A and B are shown apart, each in its own frame.
Chain A
Amino acid sequence: MDKLLLGRYIPGHSWIHQLDPRTKLMASFYYIGIVFLANNWQTYLMMFVATLFMIWLSGIRIGFFLRGVRPLIWLILFTVALQVLFVRGGMVYWHWGWLWITKLGLINGAFIFVRFVLIIFMSTLLTLTTQPLSLADAVESLLKPLRVIRVPVTELALVLQIALRFVPTLMDQTTKIMNAQRARGVDFGEGNIFQQMKAVVPLLIPLFVSSFTTADELATAMEARGYQGGDDRTKYRILRYHQRDWIAAAGMAVLTGLLLLLRAY
């Protein structure tokens, strides 16, 4: 459980940490969008340097970002292999049946690889520097216009916030129940697929039971304190844009400009 990096906030006071969560959320999505504009080595290099710069700004060791890549490495290698083996063009290095390794294929493979890494680094940066609850706040704030068309934004945000709040609790509970069942002789992650599926039952049932209990208790506690949903609730943490958010936006604009300038047409 400890290895799951997604949604793992690392406390800090870096420039990136202090950005408004809405800025970070929008900038990350925007960045992931413009990564697809890059199409030659100059633009990829520039995006790579920009990403490293942002990682440096966050003050978080690069190791954490590399660990974010690890779970996806097979997906990445598979996609890269497809590119390398099926794209044809330029010098032919190797050829067998309908499999070709050509210069264009290799270049495309390398670009896809870098694109994957950049996207993962960026989303890791967002989750490592932003508390899940701030992210939920940001989502709520950004979706607010949808209230006009009667989307229950506040309620949705509450659901999101509660879900996020209970992720660590659930992980703790999972570890505890796994340990208790291990002590009773269950081997998790061993044996054939059938045995493994059987081993999951003693884990899942107690987890469901305790989740329902927790949900029930939470609902009672909220009601006991007079919680009422709706759009008129005030907030303890009020989101405000500061100067650095405008700087971040400007940074993104400059990056886009350079991309458009340097990319091949």
Chain B
Amino acid sequence: MSFTYQAGTPFAGDGIKDVSGTIHDGSYTAIIGHTGSGKSTILQHLNALLKPTSGTVTIGDKVITNETNNKNLKPLRQKVGMVFQFAENQLFEQTVAKDIAFGPQNFGVSEKDALALADKMVAMVGLPHDVLEKSPFDLSGGQMRRVAIAGVLAMQPEVLVLDEPTAGLDPAGRHEMMTMFERLHREQGQTIVLVTHQMDDVADYADTVWVMAEGRLIKTGTPREIFSDPAWLKANQLGLPKTAQMAQQLIAKGFHFDPRPLTETELADQLLPQIGGGQHG
């Protein structure tokens, strides 16, 4: 599947080229790559905001090609919930409750049920109950982001697509949000597609990784496979998770790891015997 921006004009720019892959139901896929490598462009194909210039995109039983009609895309848009980069820019209603209820109502949920969903989602994204009646424009940037995410969650999508959802948040807020997505994934089997620059999040949460470079999908694999080759990552302007960085520095000092640890727990478990510590508890 390929996509060209502004095809047929002198401004035509390559978005993505010959990308081919499958995102499985119930998976947690992370898409990583340098800025401008085409991550956001791929995401917008997942709910037909963009249609491939050539090739096809299949989502569930719906096949999207260049010729696909713009009508009847609503069921697809409901199925694939999209949280855009800086999602707080999409808020517009008078109250937080109404804004969260906006999406579900567009997909045929009654006002009453939608407001009930808003109530539930506000708690899910970790906001106090009393923001519901506030104007979204009176909230802080981080809170607005949460409201926007709640607005997408309220659509109860089968696939949740997240474009750098934690960019610009403080570390605590970032952790809280990533934990919330992880819970959705683990407890409700929510399929998640996450674009991020945080390699730690990739190591901690994803089960599949797509690596993009210059509009091409250059590698797919588990986080362990992807992070097993630091030299290759560096050549593609990507880094290692902090734990893997630390492990690498320790290897240089004579420590041994097998397999290479990706998460803090793994690192601690393997490190403890080597520094003569007791049972890790």
Interface check A261, CB cutoff 8 A: no
Total chain B interface residues with beta-carbon distance under 8 A: 27
How distant is the Cα of A203 from the Cα of B76 in the complex, in angstroms? 21
Interface residues of B in 37-90 (CB under 8 A from A): 44, 47, 49, 71, 74, 77-78, 80-82, 84, 87, 89-90
Within 8 A of B (CB), among A200-251: 201-202, 205-206, 209-210
Does B6 make an interface contact (CB < 8 A)? yes
Q: Is the CB of A184 within 8 A of B137?
A: no
User: Would you call A10 and B10 a contact (CB within 8 A)?
Assistant: yes
A180 touches B89 (CB 8 A): yes
Interface of A is mostly: helix
Tell me if B91 is interfacial: C-beta within 8 Å of chain A.
Answer: yes
A169-189 interface (Cβ within 8 A of B):
173, 176-177, 179-187
The answer for the CA separation of A177 and B88 in the assembled complex, in Å, is 10
A179-B44, A184-B106 known; A2-B6 Cβ under 8 A: yes
Inter-chain contact B90/A184, CB cutoff 8 Å: yes
Q: Would you call B232 an interface residue if the criterion is a C-beta within 8 Å of the partner chain's C-beta atoms?
A: no
A-side interface residues, number (CB < 8 Å): 21
Q: Is B89 a contact partner of A176 (Cβ separation < 8 A)?
A: yes
With both beta carbons as reference points, the residue of chain A lying nearest to B50 in the complex is identified as A179
Question: Could you tell me the distance in whole angstroms from the C-beta of B33 to the nearest C-beta in chain A?
Answer: 20
- Closest A residue to B157 by beta carbon equals A183
* Contact assessment for B155 and A184 in the assembled complex, using a CB-CB cutoff below 8 Å: yes
Report the number of A-B residue pairs with Cβ-Cβ less than 8 Å.
58
Q: Indicate whether B261 reaches chain A with its CB closer than 8 angstroms.
A: no
Given contacts A10-B10, A179-B49, contact A186 B106 (CB under 8 A): yes
Q: Which of B74-133 contact A (CB under 8 A)?
A: 74, 77-78, 80-82, 84, 87, 89-92, 102-103, 106-107
Report if B152 contacts A (CB, 8 A): yes
Residues of B within 8 A of A184 (CB): 77, 90, 102-103, 106, 151-152, 155
A206 & B74 in contact (Cβ 8 Å cutoff) = no
Contacts A10-B10, A185-B78 given; does A180 touch B87 at CB 8 Å: yes
Report which residue of A176, A180, A183, A201 has the largest number of chain B beta carbons within 10 angstroms of its beta carbon. A183
- Chain A residues lying within 8 Å of B84, measured Cβ to Cβ, are 176, 179-180, 183
| Interchain Cβ contacts under 8 Å between A and B, 19 examples | A2-B6, A2-B9, A173-B89, A180-B87, A180-B90, A182-B49, A183-B49, A183-B82, A183-B84, A183-B152, A184-B102, A184-B106, A184-B152, A185-B74, A185-B78, A186-B106, A205-B92, A206-B91, A209-B137
The 9 closest A-B pairs by CB, nearest first: A185-B106, A205-B92, A180-B90, A184-B103, A183-B82, A202-B92, A180-B84, A179-B49, A185-B107
The chain B residues found within 8 Å of chain A, CB to CB, are: 6, 9-10, 44, 47, 49, 71, 74, 77-78, 80-82, 84, 87, 89-92, 102-103, 106-107, 137, 151-152, 155
Interface residues of A (CB under 8 A from B): 2, 10, 173, 176-177, 179-187, 190, 201-202, 205-206, 209-210
